Structure formats: structure tokens, C-alpha cells
Amino acid sequence: MTARPRRERAARGRPRGTSSASRNAPPSWQTALCALVLLVCALVQLPGDVPRGPMPTASRTAAGVFTGSGTEGIGKLAAVEKWRGRGLLRAGHTYLPGDTWSGIEGPPALLAPWSRWRRHRADRIFVLNVPMLARNEAGLPDDEVRGLLGQGARGAFDGHFRTLAERLVSLQLTDSIVVLGWEMNGTTYTHRCGPDPAAWRAYWRRAVTAMRSVAGQRFRFDFAPNRGRDAVPWTACYPGDAFVDILGMDSYDQPAGMSFPDQVEEPYGLRAQVDFAARHGKPVSYPEWGLFRNGDDARYVRGMTAWFSRYRPVYQTLTDYCPHGLWECAGHPDAARAYRAH
């Protein structure tokens, strides 16, 4: 588990001096009453935070199974469809490499095969995870990450995202779902939010604005934290409704010993996700899900598939490589049967 960050101290007003204004101050009981009223107002939901009614849902959830980033992953999808025995997979999902900015700009050799896959059937959707910073898995310290987030917030990296958008449009991937800066509430990636949430939010807005500036694009941007609190509450990273189209969540079967009902009800868990999505008028998605810390857990798989049936996400993608998978991992027979049965 990661250490919990220190809470920021609330800003305090300066004490009033003993000037002539103090002689005209209201009695102390009136001051106390005003303070109480302000406190109550702060605790009441603002009109913009009131649930808007039913959460927007997809008419039909696009299912996907991630089996590899490039052509090898595409080549396995037909075999996975046959194994599933429940119709065609409509969601194709891959990741851009985050080691260099040239990778984040979208190598055509990686994207072109997915473009052909996407255009083969009109009902398919293409989901692309896009790192927000180079050296994305290099374990950079918080101070360095904070500096990079500040540069991004000031527009230093806008050109990389415009280049990516131009390449996607040129490859006819104009309606891609872009999972930008995924799992930002954790500690795995350089593009994490924790070192400076305000700069992270501003940087997300700049990246989205840069990609939307490209003619012909119809991208949808998916904000997809880890389930649970992780290093920071994912709500602290939310960049605003105008810059988010889908409220996603990566939800693996972890930590050890946690049941699916607990995964639903934990702070910042699955229930919090759908409630937040309803308040903000967004549909949900599950870019990554699968087994992890609890072995061959059929109850988790049944719980997730029932959750998809209830909340009808735009798409859901099972991560199939071990230890998460069901098709490639022979050690998960019970979970595999549960998946194929629903």
C-alpha cells in the first residue's frame, strides 16, 4: 500500500485588527451565527452537483479482450471470439508506448493495423490508451513529475497531442476513444496526478484542447482511474465536465481478500464511480478488468459481468495476459467458465 499523503491545510483568513472597524463589529453571538450558516451552506450540495437523473448508458456495451498491443493482439481476437462463444468482440483496445514522445505521438506502424480492424465493421470502436508524459514507467520522483506537470499545464507538450490527433485522423480513426493518463490516482506512471493535482487537471485540459483542435476529429476522452483511493482520491484529479466524455475505471480483483461487494462499496469504488458519473451526466466504461490477487475467483467475474449488465458501460475490456486473464491463463478454469456463461 502507498503511504497516504498529508492533507492540505485549509487557508485561513487574517485576524481582524483593533482598528475603528472593530468597534462597529456585530456582537459575538451574531458572528457565531454567521459562521454556522456558512458552514451549513458549505455542506449542502450545490445545484450543479445534484444528480441529473439516470446515468447515460450505452444501448449495447462493446466487449473487448486485450491480448496484445500490435498485430499479434489483433490476430488473436478471432480465436478469443470463438472461445467466448457469445458473439463478436466490438471493442479493440491498445496502448501507445510511453517511453518517448515519438511513441506518444502514435507510431503509424502500431496504429495502421488497428485502423484496418476498426474499418472492417461499422459497429466496432477503437480504444487507445495515451500516456501523458514520456519516460512513463521510469519511476521518476515526485519533484520531477511535479515540474513536468507544470510544463504540461503551460502548454509545453501541446504539439505532441496535436500530432497524435492528426495521425489518428489521417488513419480514419476519427472516432477513437482516448483513455488519457489512465490510473492517474496511483503511483505506477510518471503521468500520475498526486504530485500536483491542480497542474494535472490543467495539463489534461490542454491535451484535450490540442487534440480537439484538429479538423475532422470526433474523439471521446475517457477519464479512467484505478478503483479505490489508491495514492490520492481520483475525484481530486477530475479535470471538468467539458473535457471528459466518459467516466472510466480500471477495476482488477484486488487487494487480496476483498470481496466483490466490498469492491463496490469501498471509498472511491465502483458505487462511487457510477454515482459520480450520474452527477456529472457521463456514461461509464471499464478499460481494464481481470483477476489479480484472489486467484481463480469466479465470484468476482460474476459480479463484474452483472455490473456491466446493470450499468451498461460504453465498453468493457478484459485484460487477458496472466495473471489477469481467462483465455490464456489455464490456472483460472472456474473464472473462465463464469465469464463464458454470462
When pLDDT is averaged across residues 117-144 and rounded to a whole number, the result is: 98
When pLDDT is averaged across residues 246-251 and rounded to a whole number, the result is: 98
Tell me the per-residue pLDDT of 186-236, one tens digit each, with 9 for 90 and over.
Answer: 999 999 999 999 999 999 999 999 999 999 999 999 999 999 999 999 999
pLDDT above 90: residue 21: no
Tell me the per-residue pLDDT of 26-37, one tens digit each, with 9 for 90 and over.
Answer: 344 443 444 443
Amino acid 342: pLDDT = 82
| Beta-bridge partner residues of 318 | 65, 289
pLDDT above 90: residue 49: no
Q: What is the mean pLDDT of the chain?
A: 88
pTM: 0.85
Amino acid 55: pLDDT = 86
Long-range contacts of 47-52 (CB under 8 A, 24+ apart): 49/279, 50/279, 51/275, 51/278, 51/279, 52/278, 52/279, 52/280, 52/281
pLDDT above 50: residue 334: yes
Q: How far is CA 258 from CA 221, 261, 262, in A?
A: 30, 8, 6
Concatenated DSSP letters of 30-66: HHHHHHHHHHHHHHSPPGGGS--SSPP--SSPEEEEE
Q: DSSP 3-state helix, strand, coil percentages of the chain (rounded to 5)?
A: 40, 15, 45
Q: How far is CA 149 from CA 2, 33, 121, 128, in A?
A: 21, 42, 39, 21
Tell me the per-residue pLDDT of 298-333, one tens digit each, with 9 for 90 and over.
Answer: 999 999 999 999 999 999 999 999 999 999 999 999
Amino acid 15: pLDDT = 28
